[in-house]
Structures are given as structure tokens and as C-alpha cells.
């Protein structure tokens, strides 16, 4: 129904009437007497023209508005989401999901007509235009994110007033957030047409595999895998464990049930370092629905069973002997030592950058001493500060304070002054230090007493100050008098840790304290030297979190055919974004190495798309450089599966579909009951027709029409006056 209204924004209709009377009077008075005289019809015609023109101009002052009110009955629109992933295009036993989906989409489009807003989805959602047809579905999506699709449909209800969502899917959700939660907050009912077969086909599949985050050479690791078998009752299947595509172990599952699910554990003994590809494969049986889901692979980083430590001593001493001997009694440590000769040079030859780079930590004792080559001092400083090696510095009588300044950047303290005098001291842990990872002996309240009972060591008369960011964990006690002078100082740098003991003679902890206790038959005395060295090396081995440069793949597990993407974040020392760095990544697989440069995208972020890579395990190492300065490095790994994750969806997921429908207060039906679902949609009161009223306003006072009418009327009056020779 259409209704017209003529309203005024200012003034009243009484005033309009007055304006009409005024315009009529002006016209009448103007033509009451004319020269020459004209006929009455002409006089009245001129009077009407002038009065009407004046009235048209006066009406503008009242701001007239013409309103058109149109009321129609409309049904709300419906969002139709069509699953375009690979699993929704699979061929089941006796049915083809792709053809079924196209047929259903056509049926829904015909039923809803112009009310339907179509969109397709897999990992992302794509709205289609009016020219779209179901024949354009490709079913090429490598993942399915049902939650994103529901979220998109819910947003349409806000933007376009859509009142419901109709979804055509097999329900196999494998990416993004949980679709059930998203359905509960969508704000509109979700009606789902389930596509696929509820009966599992005859198939063997490796459902999942659990591998350790890392492994150690020579240490057995357990690999767990879950095997699913349908339709092979009474048969057997062989399950193989592969390392780098070579079978290293196999087990047989006997007497399978009609619908069986077994978890098996297999032991893997790593024999070499580096990134290893570990896979579990179920040997295919005759008559399987698909062999694409018989294998799962993942990469495992294998570490050396030795923790490499380098000991550099400024001179032979009892501390050097006891420390090296103590460390070598622990099988996880691999020790390389360099001890200076009294006359200069090292017994084992000078240390090399390669040796230091391979070390987890560098332990210096009485270093640097007089005569030590400056190149070795600089080598140690570089290995710690620039290469991220950790440092355990132990003092000694041979330390040359002048040369010590060469490793100031690596040390947790700064020397203010020094003398040759020494004093015997015992360690006095700071309050609460019994829980400190460096000083912890047994982790109880008696640790402070154990330190007090330990044999005294020697501290030079060296006045120091902890550097910024360092902390003192222990001071010294002289003749039972506690002095607030640092004895053990620790520091956590940007990419390294350092620990300093401002003293020497720690061999006394073992020789006098533990040795004398053993001689007395006291087995309860703690071996302070062994415990402290073990704690210190353990603490040094934990690398500080590298926050300046972070390079990450978009996901750790890629399906076959998925695009591999890397992203990086680069910041400087002041935690500011760096947008002009050169970020390069080298990634390695069994096929070889490749290097790629990342593209800056602003905000200190960089990105690179490597494309679809061959199945396998990949490791990467990346760096960010600005000018000649290395800002930082990062490394990691990702795995590309032998088969895309969609190929594992051999049946419809009715559990997900039913929960999505119920939580949204919608409904679901299998594809062969599409008419029933559409009837439920039509009968839903939330989708009932509603009266929609649209009002259109035209501001006549601002419209040129009135001015045009007035001008035309005045023009007509002037023309007739000229024809009548009026003056």
C-alpha cells in the first residue's frame, strides 16, 4: 500500500492560506485596471499567472516536504553456506558427495529464490554473486573451518537482516575454533543438510600418532599410534615404524573386529643427531576404500646425548683438576679443556671459534691470565655475547685484571679496583637463596647451613659492582661476620647467561668437606662441589627467550598441497619495530636446501609464501640483519603430510552437525530429506513474513521544481503582457 503526505517543516497551513490570499490580492490589484484595457478572460488569466507564481515563491518559506510511504510484506533473507572442501566432494560407497552437493544447492536456490544469500567455504568463506551456479563448485579446499562459516553467516544477520543459516556440509571440521560454540552465539538458527554416508567404508587408517617433542641419541623413545579398522573382521594388519622412509620396526595387529580401534606403542632408538622424519604406516589390505590415510608422518629433532662444555684455564691448578674430573664423571657431559702453560700458550693448542660455537657453555678458571693472547680473550667474548654461548667464570690467582676488561660485555660484574691480597671466606646465600637454581643443594631450609659448613675458599681483595641486569645470589662471610660484598653473581643477557664466582679454591669443598666426611663414614654430607657445578651448568644451559627475532610457520602440521607460509617479527634492543631489516630463511629437507628472502609488511613484520611443498619434514634457520649488524636468529621446523587431512573424512560427522543445529535452535536432516528440512524452515516463526514500511521524503523547498514553476509562470505572464501591449 502506497500513501502520499504533503507536510510543512516550518509554519502552519493557516499561514499558507494567508500566503495564498496575499498572492491572490497582489495579482488582483495588479490587473484591476490595465492600459490599454484587455478583455476579462485575458485579465483573469494574467491575474492567475502572477498570483500563482508569487504563491510558489512564498511556499518555499514554509519548507514543504512530500512524503511517500510504502508498506509491503516481506520474508527475511537466508544465508546459504555450501561446503567446498575436498572431503565434501569425496565419492562414498554408492554415492558421490560432489554431485549430491550441487543438486542440493540447486534445490535450495530454487526454493528460496531471491531470499538466498549464497557463499562457499572451506578454510575461508567466499561470498558469491548473482551469476554463481553450483556447477562452479571445485571441492578443492584442503581444510574445513565450519566455525568461520557460521560466524560469517551470523554477521550477515546484523548487516543484511538474514534470519537463518542453511548449511550444506559433511560436518568434518578440522580447522579454526569449535563450531558448536560459534553456533550457540550466532544469533540465528542453523539448518544443516548432512552430506555423506554414516556407515564407515571398508578401510584401514592411522588416526593419530604421538611422538616426543625431541629425542636424544642412544635414548629409547616411545612412539604411540592409533589404528582404526572397519570391515576387516578377523583379519590382521601390519603396522610399520619408519625413520626417513626406512622401516625400522613393525608389529602386527591380529584378530581385528568389525569396527576396531587399537593403540600400539613402538620403541624407537635414535642413532644420529638432527631432524628425523618419523612415520607410522599401516600396510594396505585388499579392498580398502582409500589408501591415502594409511600413513602419518612428523619430524622429531634428535639431540646429541652429550652436552658439550669447554674449559679454559689461565694456569694449572687444583680447581681445574677437580672441576674437570667432576664434570667427566657425569656421562652427559663432553669436556674439551684448554690450559695455559706457565710460559705462555696452551697445552692442547689455542681454542678455536668452532670449538666454542659447538659448546653449550664455556667454563673459565683463573682466566684470562698474564700472557694470554688477546685473540683468545676476544674469541671468548664473541662466543658469549654474539653467538649466545653461556659463561661460567671462576676466579683465580692468575687472573689479569687488565685483560679481564676484554670480556666485560660477557661478565655479570665490573671490577672497580683490585689488590693481590686474599682472604678466606665462606658462602653466605641471600635470603631465600635455598630455592635459587644455582645454590640449591637439597632444596630445604638446611641448605644455608650446608653452605656455611662448606670449607672456606679464597677471595681476592677485588671490589666489584654487578652490571645492570645482574643480581647477587650470595655474599661472603669472614670469621662468621657477614659482609655485603658479592661472591656469586648471575646475569641473564639478551641471548646468553653468565655466572661468576669471585673466588677460587673450590676444590676444598670436595677435598676437605666431602672428603673428610667420607673418611668419617658420614654418607649424608652433600658433595657441594658436584651439586654446585651441576646446578650451574644446568642453569647456564637454559637459553633466555629470544624476543628480538621470531620466525614461525603458520602451522606446525601442513596437509599435502597446502601453501606453507612463514611470518617473522623483528625488534631492536629498545623493543622497537624494525621495518628495514633483511630477513632471510634457509629451509632444509631430505631433498636439499633452499633459501628465501622475507618481504616486509610493516609493524616489524615480515612474510614469505613458500608454496605447496613435497611431503616430508622441514627444518629452517633464519636471520635478521640490518646493515652489518646481526639483529638475531631463529629456527624451527614444520611437517608436510603425505596426505591431505580432508582425505581422512570417510564418513559424515553427524555429532558435530547435530550439536551445531541444536545449540543454534535449528535443525538438521540428511541430504535425502531436503524437502523436510525446507518445510521446517518455511514453518519457522522466526522466518515469518513481516510488514516492511519504507518512507521516502522529497524536500520541495529545496527542489528546483518550485523555482522552475515560478519562472515559467512569470515568463508566461510577460509573454501575454507583450502580446496585449500592456505597460
102-121, pLDDT tens digit by residue?
999 999 999 988 888 999 99
Residues 6 or more apart whose Cβ sits within 8 Å of residue 285: 204, 232, 235, 237
The yes-or-no answer to whether 76-193+657-673 and 307-540 have a common fold is yes
Identify the pLDDT of residue 543.
64
Strand pairing category for 164-169 and 78-83: parallel
Question: Phi, psi at residue 406, to the nearest 5°?
Answer: -70, -20
Q: Which CATH number fits domain 76-193+657-673: 3.40.50.2300, 3.40.50.410, 3.40.920.10, 2.60.120.260?
A: 3.40.50.410
For residue 323, CA distances in Å to 352, 549, 703 come to 22, 36, 98
219-242, pLDDT tens digit by residue?
888 888 888 888 888 889 999 999
**CATH number, span 203-303:** 2.60.40.10
**CATH number, span 307-540:** 3.40.50.880
Which of 295-309, 529-543, 669-683 tops mean pLDDT? 669-683
CB 183 within 8 A of CB 150: yes
**CATH number, span 549-640:** 2.60.40.1930
Nearest Cα neighbor of 196 from 108, 288, 101 is 101
End-to-end CA distance of the chain: give it in Å, rounded. Answer: 53
Q: How confident is the model at residue 572 (pLDDT cuts 50, 70, 90)?
A: confident
Q: Report the pLDDT averaged over residues 324-349.
A: 90
CA 445 from chain center: how many Å? Answer: 43
Residues 6 or more apart whose Cβ sits within 8 Å of residue 143: 85, 122, 123, 174, 175, 559, 562, 645, 646
Nearest Cα neighbor of 152 from 110, 129, 121, 196 is 121
* Secondary structure of 382-440 as H, E, C letters: HHHHCCCCEEEEECCCCECHHHHHHHCCCCCEEEEEEEEEEEEEEEEECCCHHHCCCCC
- Segments making up each domain of the chain, as ranges: 2-71+697-723, 76-193+657-673, 203-303, 307-540, 549-640
Model confidence at 406: pLDDT above 80:
yes
Q: How far is residue 535's CA from residue 437's CA, in Å, rounded to a whole number?
A: 6
Q: How far is residue 90's CA from residue 144's CA, in Å, rounded to a whole number?
A: 14
CB 119 within 8 A of CB 125: yes
Q: How confident is the model at residue 642 (pLDDT cuts 50, 70, 90)?
A: low
CA dihedral 336, 341, 347, 352 (to 10 degrees): 60
Identify the pLDDT of residue 71.
66
* Adjacency order of strands within the sheet including 605-612: 549-553, 563-570, 605-612, 599-602
The percentage of residues in the chain with a pLDDT greater than 70, rounded to a whole number, is 93
Cell numbers describing residue 709: 514553476
Higher pLDDT, 325 or 7: 325
Q: How confident is the model at residue 545 (pLDDT cuts 50, 70, 90)?
A: very low
Q: How far is residue 135's CA from residue 215's CA, in Å, rounded to a whole number?
A: 50
The percentage of residues in the chain with a pLDDT greater than 90, rounded to a whole number, is 31
Q: How far is residue 727's CA from residue 725's CA, in Å, rounded to a whole number?
A: 7
Model confidence at 701: pLDDT above 70:
no
Q: How far is residue 651's CA from residue 669's CA, in Å, rounded to a whole number?
A: 15
CB 221 within 8 A of CB 264: no
Identify the pLDDT of residue 2.
67
Cell numbers describing residue 150: 557460521
Q: How far is residue 484's CA from residue 507's CA, in Å, rounded to a whole number?
A: 24
Query: Please, what is the average pLDDT of the chain?
Result: 85
Q: Report the pLDDT averaged over residues 59-70.
A: 74
Q: How far is residue 149's CA from residue 165's CA, in Å, rounded to a whole number?
A: 10
Q: How confident is the model at residue 15 (pLDDT cuts 50, 70, 90)?
A: confident
Model confidence at 546: pLDDT above 60:
no
Q: How far is residue 119's CA from residue 87's CA, in Å, rounded to a whole number?
A: 18
Question: How many Å is the maximal CA-CA distance in the chain?
Answer: 151
Q: Return the minimum-mean-pLDDT range out of 111-125, 127-141, 202-216, 701-715.
A: 701-715
Q: How confident is the model at residue 257 (pLDDT cuts 50, 70, 90)?
A: confident
Q: Report the pLDDT averaged over residues 445-453.
A: 82
CB 4 within 8 A of CB 68: yes
Q: How confident is the model at residue 424 (pLDDT cuts 50, 70, 90)?
A: very high
For residue 230, CA distances in Å to 173, 202, 206, 286, 576 come to 21, 5, 12, 13, 56
Amino acid at each position: 500500500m502506497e500513501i502520499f503526505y504533503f507536510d510543512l517543516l516550518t509554519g502552519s497551513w493557516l499561514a499558507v492560506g494567508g500566503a495564498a490570499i496575499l498572492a491572490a490580492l497582489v495579482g488582483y490589484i495588479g490587473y484591476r485596471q490595465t492600459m490599454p484595457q484587455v478583455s476579462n478572460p485575458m485579465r483573469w488569466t494574467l491575474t492567475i499567472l502572477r498570483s500563482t507564481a508569487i504563491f510558489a515563491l512564498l511556499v518555499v518559506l514554509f519548507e514543504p516536504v512530500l512524503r511517500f510511504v510504502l508498506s509491503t510484506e516481506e520474508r527475511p533473507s537466508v544465508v546459504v553456506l555450501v561446503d567446498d572442501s575436498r572431503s565434501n566432494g569425496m565419492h562414498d560407497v554408492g554415492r558421490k558427495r560432489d554431485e549430491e552437493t550441487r543438486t542440493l544447492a540447486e534445490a535450495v536456490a530454487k526454493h528460496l529464490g531471491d531470499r538466498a544469500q549464497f557463499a562457499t567455504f572451506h578454510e575461508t568463506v567466499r561470498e558469491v554473486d548473482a551469476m554463481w551456479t553450483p556447477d562452479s563448485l571445485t571441492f578443492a579446499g584442503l581444510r574445513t573451518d565450519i566455525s568461520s562459516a557460521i560466524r560469517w553467516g551470523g554477521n550477515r544477520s546484523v548487516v543484511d537482516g538474514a534470519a537463518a543459516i542453511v548449511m550444506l556440509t559433511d560436518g568434518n571440521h578440522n580447522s579454526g575454533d569449535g563450531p558448536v560454540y560459534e553456533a550457540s552465539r550466532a544469533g540465528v538458527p542453523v539448518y544443516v543438510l548432512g552430506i555423506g554416508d554414516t556407515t564407515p567404508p571398508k578401510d584401514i587408517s592411522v588416526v593419530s600418532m604421538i611422538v616426543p617433542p625431541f629425542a636424544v641419541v642412544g635414548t629409547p623413545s616411545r612412539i604411540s599410534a592409533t589404528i582404526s579398522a572397519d570391515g576387516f573382521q578377523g583379519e590382521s594388519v601390519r603396522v610399520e615404524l619408519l625413520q626417513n622412509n626406512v622401516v625400522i620396526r613393525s608389529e602386527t595387529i591380529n584378530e581385528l573386529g568389525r569396527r576396531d580401534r587399537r593403540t600400539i606403542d613402538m620403541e624407537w632408538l635414535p642413532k644420529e643427531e638432527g631432524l628425523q622424519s618419523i612415520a607410522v604406516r599401516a600396510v594396505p589390505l585388499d579392498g580398502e576404500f582409500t589408501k591415502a590415510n594409511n600413513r602419518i608422518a612428523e619430524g622429531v629433532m634428535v639431540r646429541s646425548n652429550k652436552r658439550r662444555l669447554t674449559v679454559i684455564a689461565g694456569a694449572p691448578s687444583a680447581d681445574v683438576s677437580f672441576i674437570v674430573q667432576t664434570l667427566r664423571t657425569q656421562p652427559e657431559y663432553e669436556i674439551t679443556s684448554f690450559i695455559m702453560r706457565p710460559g705462555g700458550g696452551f697445552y692442547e693448542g689455542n681454542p678455536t671459534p668452532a670449538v666454542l660455537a659447538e659448546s653449550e657453555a664455556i667454563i673459565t678458571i683463573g682466566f684470562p691470565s698474564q700472557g694470554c693472547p688477546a685473540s683468545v680473550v676476544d674469541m671468548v667474548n664473541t662466543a658469549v655475547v654474539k653467538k649466545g654461548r653461556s659463561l661460567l667464570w671462576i676466579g683465580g690467582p692468575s687472573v689479569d685484571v687488565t685483560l679481564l676488561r676484554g670480556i666485560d660485555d660477557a661478565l655479570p660484574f665490573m671490577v672497580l679496583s683490585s689488590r693481590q691480597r686474599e682472604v678466606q671466606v665462606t658462602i653466605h646465600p641471600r635470603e631465600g637463596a635455598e630455592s635459587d637454581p644455582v645454590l640449591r643443594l637439597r632444596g630445604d631450609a638446611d641448605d644455608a647451613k650446608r653452605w656455611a659448613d662448606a670449607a672456606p675458599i679464597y677471595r681476592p681483595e677485588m671490589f666489584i659492582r654487578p652490571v645492570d641486569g645482574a643480581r647477587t645470589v650470595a655474599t661472603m662471610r669472614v670469621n662468621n661476620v657477614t659482609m655485603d660484598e658479592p661472591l656469586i653473581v648471575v646475569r641473564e643477557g639478551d641471548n646468553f647467561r653468565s655466572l661468576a664466582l669471585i673466588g677460587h679454591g673450590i676444590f676444598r669443598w670436595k677435598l676437605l668437606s666431602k672428603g673428610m666426611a667420607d673418611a668419617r663414614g658420614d654418607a649424608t654430607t652433600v658433595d657441594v662441589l658436584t651439586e654446585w657445578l651441576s646446578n650451574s651448568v644446568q642453569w647456564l644451559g637454559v637459553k633466555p627467550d629470544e624476543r628480538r627475532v621470531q620466525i614461525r610457520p603458520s602451522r606446525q602440521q601442513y596437509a599435502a598441497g597446502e601453501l606453507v607460509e612463514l611470518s617473522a617479527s623483528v625488534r631492536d634492543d629498545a623493543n622497537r619495530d624494525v621495518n628495514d631489516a633483511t630477513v632471510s630463511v634457509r629451509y632444509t629437507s631430505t631433498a636439499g636446501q633452499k633459501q628465501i628472502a622475507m618481504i616486509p609488511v610493516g609493524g616489524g613484520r615480515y612474510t614469505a609464501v613458500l608454496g605447496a611443498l613435497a611431503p616430508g619434514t622441514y627444518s629452517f634457520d633464519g636471520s635478521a640483519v640490518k646493515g652489518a649488524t646481526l639483529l638475531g636468529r631463529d629456527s624451527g621446523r614444520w611437517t608436510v603430510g603425505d596426505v591431505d587431512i580432508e582425505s581422512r573424512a570417510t564418513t559424515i560427522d553427524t555429532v558435530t552437525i547435530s550439536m551445531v543445529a541444536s545449540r543454534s535452535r535449528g535443525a538438521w536432516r540428511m541430504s535425502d530429506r531436503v524437502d523436510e528440512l525446507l518445510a521446517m524452515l518455511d514453518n519457522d516463526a522466526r522466518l515469518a513474513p513481516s510488514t516492511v514500511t519504507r518512507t521516502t521524503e522529497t524536500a520541495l523547498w529545496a527542489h528546483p521544481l518550485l523555482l522552475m514553476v515560478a519562472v515559467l509562470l512569470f515568463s508566461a505572464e510577460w509573454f501575454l503582457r507583450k502580446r496585449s501591449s500592456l505597460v
